[in-house]
Amino acid sequence: MSKNIALITGVTGQDGSYLSEFLLAKGYEVHGIIRRSSVDYRERIAHLEGTPNFHLHYADMGDSMSLVKLVGKVQPTEIYNLAAQSHVQVSFDAPEFTADVDAVGVLRILEAVRTNHLEKACKIYQASTSELYGKVEEVPQNENTPFHPYSPYAVAKLYGFWIIKEYREAYNMFCCSGILFNHESERRGETFVTRKITLAAARIAQGKQDCLYLGNLDSLRDWGYAKDYVECMWLILQHETPEDFVIATGVQHTVREFASLAFHYAGIELRWEGQGIDEKGIVASVSNPSLSHLIGKTVVAVSEAFYRPTDVVNLWGDPTKAKNKLGWNPQTTSFEQLVQIMVNHDMQKVAADHVASVMRTNLAEYLEKGIVK
């Protein structure tokens, strides 16, 4: 039997790390693309480095030559194109870079496969996004809902979606898009709203932060657990025909609801007062007397700095096709479980960071006083 060889772009990201674990457990040989940076920061995959079937290679989505050479060397049977400038707000500040990586980058991967004559041997998964629905034209959104991208990120991803479809039809390649709705985890980047909230709730509960500043609290998202979603990426490539799928939980919550629940798991009950820019989350009660000094304090406030020029405010996915055709269960991890997993993780992280910082301070003092040499 021929070996399954996966090439993952974006292997250092949230999804790339979970997908690597998932494919390694299935016996795949996994190759990941990393890019040069001045600090080697690969926290999410550090535990996989040294695993016999796990290999990392330098390349960049902006560098066709590196991709062509790497695809030729690895001879993948499956490519998971997860690499992207994935932050919507950042795409307003760096629109050209976002277009280069998130749009033309997809074309570069497709052409790398064609240049190496692997059209028939290699299947391609493209990380598409619910942001394509943008200024939504219907709720909930499914595979037939019209797209209306509403940020430079979404416009770039729309190109990625269509070029995948084009190569499928023009060259008969097995390439598909997973239209994934927001998926989060304890490995989520710290500037996405969910992780920003769970980290802040943990810091506020441990006296390390006074207040959390957020943008649009009314925004609605369909949030799932990233660990559950990587299975779908694989299932999409195992389906008999190349097709695009919406991957979502089918349940919607506001940013405000996410914040209330995160603070609840950190031992703090919030009440909300005011509207718009003046809205505040105030501590109504606490589960532990050691937090009673927080009662009546404002711990969440709104800042215009986190408003977007255009914001996508009503994402709600219909995963019926994935459920029926792929046999995927969209409710493996509930919203409540997801928030609890993230808060528990961040409560421990904040406590561990505190211990490490005290140890560093003590060590510096001991060195200065000559107590340790």
Which residues are identified as catalytic? 129, 131, 153
Q: Sketch the per residue contact string, 40 through 69, with ligand NAP: x for CB under 6 A, - otherwise.
A: --------------------xxx-------
At 29 the three-state DSSP class reads strand
| Residue 62, binding choice from ligand NAP, ligand G4F, none, Cβ under 5 to 8 Å by partner class | ligand NAP
Give the range of 13-21, 258-266, 334-342, 357-365 binding ligand NAP by CB under 6 A: 13-21
At 177 the three-state DSSP class reads strand
Query: Is omega for the bond preceding 52 within 30 degrees of 0, making it cis?
Result: no
Is residue 182 a contact point for ligand G4F (CB under 6 A)? yes
Q: Sketch the per residue contact string, 2 through 41, with ligand G4F: x for CB under 6 A, - otherwise.
A: ----------------------------------------
| Residue 255, binding choice from ligand NAP, ligand G4F, none, Cβ under 5 to 8 Å by partner class | ligand G4F
Residue 129 or 291 having the CB closest to ligand NAP? 129
Give the range of 11-19, 205-213, 231-239, 346-354 binding ligand NAP by CB under 6 A: 11-19
Smallest gap from Cβ 9 to ligand NAP, in A, equals 6
Q: How far apart are alpha carbons 329 and 337 in whole angstroms?
A: 15
Give the range of 22-30, 178-186, 198-206, 212-220 binding ligand NAP by CB under 6 A: 178-186
The residue type of 240 is: E
What is the bridge-based pairing of β-strands 54-58 and 175-180? unpaired
Is residue 261 a contact point for ligand G4F (CB under 6 A)? no
Q: How far apart are alpha carbons 360 and 366 in whole angstroms?
A: 10
Q: CA nearest 342: which of 182, 208, 231?
A: 182
Residue 252 or 281 having the CB closest to ligand NAP? 252
Q: How far apart are alpha carbons 333 and 118 in whole angstroms?
A: 37
Q: Sketch the per residue contact string, 113 through 152, with ligand G4F: x for CB under 6 A, - otherwise.
A: ----------------xxx---------------------
Residue 43 or 240 having the CB closest to ligand G4F? 43
Residues 308-367 binding ligand G4F (CB under 6 A) are 308, 311-312, 315
Is residue 203 a contact point for ligand NAP (CB under 6 A)? no
Which positions ≥6 away from 63 have C-beta within 8 Å?
none
Q: Are 151 and 308 in contact (CB under 8 A)?
A: yes
Q: What is the DSSP string of 83-130?
A: -S---HHHHHHSHHHHHIIIIIHHHHHHHHHHHTT-TTT-EEEEEEEG
Is residue 314 a contact point for ligand NAP (CB under 6 A)? no
Which positions ≥6 away from 41 have C-beta within 8 Å?
none
Residue 133 or 174 having the CB closest to ligand G4F? 133
- In degrees, to the nearest 5, what angle opens at C-alpha 14 toward C-alphas 12 and 337? 155
Among 159, 162, 192, 272, binds ligand G4F (CB under 6 A): 192
Residue 18 or 54 having the CB closest to ligand G4F? 18
Q: How far apart are alpha carbons 4 and 76 in whole angstroms?
A: 8
Q: Are 34 and 45 in contact (CB under 8 A)?
A: no
What is the bridge-based pairing of β-strands 298-302 and 280-286? antiparallel
Among 12, 145, 219, 252, binds ligand G4F (CB under 6 A): 219
Q: Tell me whether residue 240 is exposed, middle or buried, using C-beta atoms within 10 angstroms of its C-beta: 0 to 12, 13 to 18, 19 or more.
A: exposed
Q: How far apart are alpha carbons 173 and 48 in whole angstroms?
A: 31
Residues 209-228 binding ligand NAP (CB under 6 A) are none
Q: Which residue has the closest beta carbon to ligand NAP?
A: 13
Q: Which residues bind to ligand G4F, rule: CB under 6 A?
A: 86, 88-89, 129-131, 181-182, 191-193, 196, 214-216, 219, 221, 255, 306, 308, 311-312, 315
Q: Which residues bind to ligand NAP, rule: CB under 6 A?
A: 9-16, 33, 35, 60-62, 82-86, 101, 127, 129, 180, 182-183, 189
